[in-house]
Amino acid sequence: MMWRGQSSTLFTLVGLLAWSSSFDVAVAGQPEAEACAAHLSIPGQKMFHATSGQVKPGTDIASVLRAHLRPMIMAGQIRLDEGKQNAQLVAKCLLLLK
């Protein structure tokens, strides 16, 4: 069960991680993003594949992650701690799609 404060903390964390990771990722494409995702944990791969179709040039990665992460947690597809642990790495892989 997710507490009210925990969900806002998760979304803040996802936003900050996506923003901070945008500075050290070079522009790439689908093959590079898929290769990056292959190195993620199973929950990270689930997060990547749930959000990768929404990423286009100009997309706010943090918003995409927030929109998909909470329903995944509420549905039991991933745990809150898994979301927190994988958010930064998933964001880096998603940035390769931009």
Residues 6+ apart with CB under 8 A from 6: 80
The share of the chain scoring above pLDDT 70, in percent, equals 71
**Tell me: the pLDDT tens digits for 28-57?**
689 999 999 999 999 999 999 999 999 999
- Whether residue 83 has pLDDT greater than 50: yes
Q: For the full predicted model, state whether its pTM sits above 0.75.
A: no
Per-domain residue ranges for the chain? 4-95
User: With the CA atoms of 51, 54, 56 and 62 taken in that order, what torsion angle do they form, in degrees rounded to the nearest 10?
Assistant: -50
Q: Give the pLDDT score at 98.
A: 84
